[in-house]
Amino acid sequence: MLAKIITMKKPLVLLSFIFTLLGCDKNETIVKVIPTITTTELTNITGTKAISGGNITENGGANVTAKGVCWSTSTSPTTTDSHTNDGTGTGSFTSQLTNLSENTTYFIRSYATNSVGTVYGNQLTFSTLALPTITTNAITDITTTNATSGGTITGDGGANITTRGVCWSTATNPTTSDSFTSDGTGTEDFTSQLANLTENTTYYLRSYATNSVGTVYGNELSFTTSKRIPVLTTLPITEITPNRATSGGNLTNNGGGNITANGVCWSTLSNPTISDDFTVDSSGTASFTSFLSNLRPNTTYFLRSYATNEAGTGYGNELSFTTSELVLYGSTTITTQEHIDYIEERGYSKVEGGGVYISGSNITNLEGLSSLHSITGDLGIYNTTGLTNLIGLGNLNSLGGKLIINLNKALINLEGLNKLTTIGEYVDIQENDALASLDGLNNLTAIEHYLFIYNNNSLTTISGLNNLKSIGYYLNINSNALLENLDGLSNLESIGQSLIIMNNNSLVNINGLSSLTSTGSLSISSNTALNNLCGIRPLIGNNGNSGNFNITSNSFNPTLQDIKDNNCSQ
């Protein structure tokens, strides 16, 4: 039987034609129609690509010769718009959409073509993704090596922000191929800390954000790091005299700025600054020499070089030195407070070949003599009316000659002589009307010649001599009307020649001599209240008295044998 194949495109015509054919009994007819197709949901959408496809369930009685998807920014796209060509045949197929525009809404339909024509599947819509949008935050906290910035993400482009931060370079338009920070994910505002910058350098900076579409950069800003304070080393200290020295500095890094001042600074305390004494030397040079002046003799100083630029002042390593002594040769007599001030100003620390003699009603304190530590001759203080102590002599530790303290009407004690341990000749303390004790001689251990304590009307105790152990020649304690005991001599062990105690009318015992083991002659007389002489019993018992023995005109006058027999007090 002859078969006739008829292709119909219009459905109503097709039905009418089929009914006509059914009425024929001599010919069989095969009808072809357009295929049946549905569009596959879109996946893997990016800024420029997406994946879709279709499923052809019927070929319409004719081979499918072309299939794919088509898309447009307008509805009902056709193959005259952008489209894929994904082969032939029925069944499911996958289509790769490319060259899309970011952040754009598209309409898509699958299609299939056979000999009847082209049919389109259901229409779907989708939007491509976009790069994020971001602005760069202001740059703050700029130092020599650090700065702070960040970014504000105003849109994620439809995709998750996977990394963000700032990038910088000394060239414009920096990218993440340059130095950069990584400051987390998400769309929140973020802060970025820049580090390891170079001082006095201009940088360009942009924020950045990355999503699946790519990396976008914010607006570009620029900044310049601060200049660094200078770096330098301190030169050795040379040419040290009592009042002068020489040093300097070596500049190793100007910090990127202009050196406006350099020199050295010094103080008697560590870490000196330009708030202390300082020099101003030639600016801008790599190496400089500094001359220190107006120093104090025999004084330890700390010194640092310095250099100043726009960023501030940098200091070199600290060195220390001690000025040499300033020696006063020969004797000097001081009669005014102004003379003491002059010695203080000059800073004399030693007197050689002579002594120091201080007298006069104008003198009220000795504080200007605080630099003195050695006198090879005598120290005489006499006929003063306003001097109450000797505190200004607190650094005196060596006295080669005599210590004479006579006729000082206001002197209360000897505070200020505390560093004296030995006296080369004798100590003479006479007629100091207000002197109540010998406090100030506490470290004195030996007197080479004699100790004479005479007619000090307010002296009630000789405390202050507690460490005295030996006297080379004699001890004479005479006419001190209020002296009650000798307890201040409790460590005295030997007197080279004579012990004389007389006319001390308040003296009741001499127990302070209990450590005395040797002397030459001994004379204790005219002490009208003295009734206890047991303090010399160890001396007598050990036959330490090698010369004359005279005990008379006291309240009690035991013999030598009485003392040996312990009959030494009333």
Structure confidence by residue, pLDDT tens digits, 498-509: 999 999 999 999
pLDDT at 543 over 50: yes
pLDDT at 3: 33
Give the model's confidence band at 545: pLDDT under 50 very low, under 70 low, under 90 confident, else very high. confident
267: three-class secondary structure by DSSP: strand
pLDDT at 246 over 50: yes
pTM of the model: 0.57
Through-space distance between the first and last CA atoms of the chain, rounded to whole angstroms: 177
Determine the average pLDDT of the residues in 229-242: 95
pLDDT at 29: 62
pLDDT at 21: 42
**Rg of the chain, C-alpha, whole Å:** 56
Of 16 and 93, which is predicted with more confidence?
A: 93
pLDDT at 27: 52
Pairwise CA distance, residues 110 & 37, whole Å: 7
Give the model's confidence band at 19: pLDDT under 50 very low, under 70 low, under 90 confident, else very high. very low
Given a contact cutoff of 8 angstroms between Cβ atoms, the answer to whether 100 and 16 are in contact is no
Give the model's confidence band at 284: pLDDT under 50 very low, under 70 low, under 90 confident, else very high. low
pLDDT at 228: 87
Given a contact cutoff of 8 angstroms between Cβ atoms, the answer to whether 217 and 232 are in contact is no
Mean pLDDT lowest among 68-72, 280-284, 491-495:
280-284
pLDDT at 92: 97
**Mean of the per-residue pLDDT values of the chain:** 92
> Which pair of tokens denotes residue 257?
């700025």
pLDDT at 255: 86
**pLDDT tens-digit map of 552-565:** 999 999 999 999 99
Pairwise CA distance, residues 219 & 538, whole Å: 103
Given a contact cutoff of 8 angstroms between Cβ atoms, the answer to whether 487 and 508 are in contact is no
| Residue % of the chain over a pLDDT of 90 | 87
Instruction: Please name the residue ranges forming H helices in 477-553.
Output: 537-541
**pLDDT tens-digit map of 394-448:** 999 999 999 999 999 999 999 999 999 999 999 999 999 999 999 999 999 999 9
Pairwise CA distance, residues 298 & 242, whole Å: 7
pLDDT at 131 over 80: yes
**pLDDT tens-digit map of 153-208:** 999 999 999 999 999 999 999 999 999 999 999 999 999 999 999 988 999 999 99
Give the model's confidence band at 26: pLDDT under 50 very low, under 70 low, under 90 confident, else very high. very low
Name the phi and psi angles at 557, rounded to 5: -130, 80
Give the model's confidence band at 479: pLDDT under 50 very low, under 70 low, under 90 confident, else very high. very high
| Residue % of the chain over a pLDDT of 70 | 94
| Closest-CA residue to 474 (of 452, 501, 450) | 450
